[in-house]
Structure 1
Amino acid sequence: MPDPRDHRVLIPIDVLEGQTVPATVIDAFASIPVVLLGYREIPDQTGPDQARDQYGDRMQAELAELRSVFEDVGCDVTTRSAFTHDRLKTFERVAVDASCDAVLVLNPAPILETILVAIRSDVNVEYIAQLLETILAGTDLELTLFHVASDEDGREAGSVLLETARSELVAAGVDDSRIDGTVVVDDSPTAAILEAAADHDLLVAGESQPSIRRFVFRDRAERLARRTVDPVLVIRGEYLESQRDDETGNGETDG
Structure 2
Amino acid sequence: MAAPRDHRVLIPVDVLGGESVPATVIDAFASVPIVLLGYRELPDQTGTDQARDQYGTRARAELEELHTAFEDAGCLDVSSRLVFTHDRLQTFERIAVEASCDAVLLLNPAPVLESVLVAIRGEVNLEHIALHLETLLAGTELTVTFFHVVADETDRERGTELLDAAVDALADTGVDRDRIDRSLVVDGSPTAAILEAASEHDLLVVGESRPSIRRFIFRDRAKTLAKGTVDPVLVIRGEYLEADDTELTVDDTELPIGDETDTSTADDVDDPDNES
TM-score range, shorter chain: over 0.9
Q: CA RMSD in A?
A: 1.7
Q: Scaled by the length of structure 2, what TM-score is found?
A: 0.87
Q: Which residue of 1 aligns with 2:50?
A: 50
After TM superposition, what 4+ stretches of structure 1 lie above 6 angstroms from structure 2? none
Distance 1:28 1:71 in 2: 13
Secondary structure, aligned partner of 2:16: helix
Count of aligned residue pairs for this structure pair:
251
Matches within 5 A, 1:145-164: 145-164=146-165
Is it true that 1:16 corresponds to 2:16 in the alignment? yes
Deviation at 1:185, TM superposition (A): 1.1
Distance 2:124 2:236 in 1: 10
Matches within 5 A, 1:168-207: 168-207=169-208
Distance 1:202 1:184 in 2: 19
Q: Which residue of 2 aligns with 1:69?
A: 69
Q: Which residue of 1 aligns with 2:253?
A: 253
Residues 148, 183 of structure 1: 8 Å contact kept: yes
Residue 164 to residue 122, structure 1, CA distance change in 2 (3 Å): closer
Matches within 5 A, 1:1-255: 6-75=6-75, 76-207=77-208, 209-240=210-241, 242=243, 243-245=245-247, 250-255=250-255
Secondary structure, aligned partner of 1:93: helix
Distance 1:254 1:245 in 2: 19
Deviation at 1:123, TM superposition (A): 2.5
Structure 2: stretches of 5+ with no match in the other structure:
256-276
Deviations 1:72-121, CA, capped at 9 Å, x for gaps: 01112100111110001111111111111110000000000000000011
Deviations 1:7-35, CA, capped at 9 Å, x for gaps: 11000000111211000000000000110
Distance 2:151 2:24 in 1: 34
Residues 209, 239 of structure 2: 8 Å contact kept: no
Residues 123, 162 of structure 2: 8 Å contact kept: no
Secondary structure, aligned partner of 1:250: coil
Deviation at 1:238, TM superposition (A): 2.2
Q: Percentage identity across aligned positions?
A: 68
Residues 105, 234 of structure 2: 8 Å contact kept: yes
Residues 100, 240 of structure 2: 8 Å contact kept: no
Q: Which residue of 1 aligns with 2:268?
A: none
Moved more, 148-157 or 69-78: 148-157
Q: Scaled by the length of structure 1, what TM-score is found?
A: 0.94
Deviation at 1:135, TM superposition (A): 0.2
Deviations 1:204-232, CA, capped at 9 Å, x for gaps: 00125321221122111111110100000
Secondary structure, aligned partner of 1:6: coil
Distance 2:5 2:56 in 1: 29
- Which one has the bigger helix percentage? 1
Structure 1: stretches of 5+ with no match in the other structure:
none
Residues 102, 240 of structure 2: 8 Å contact kept: no
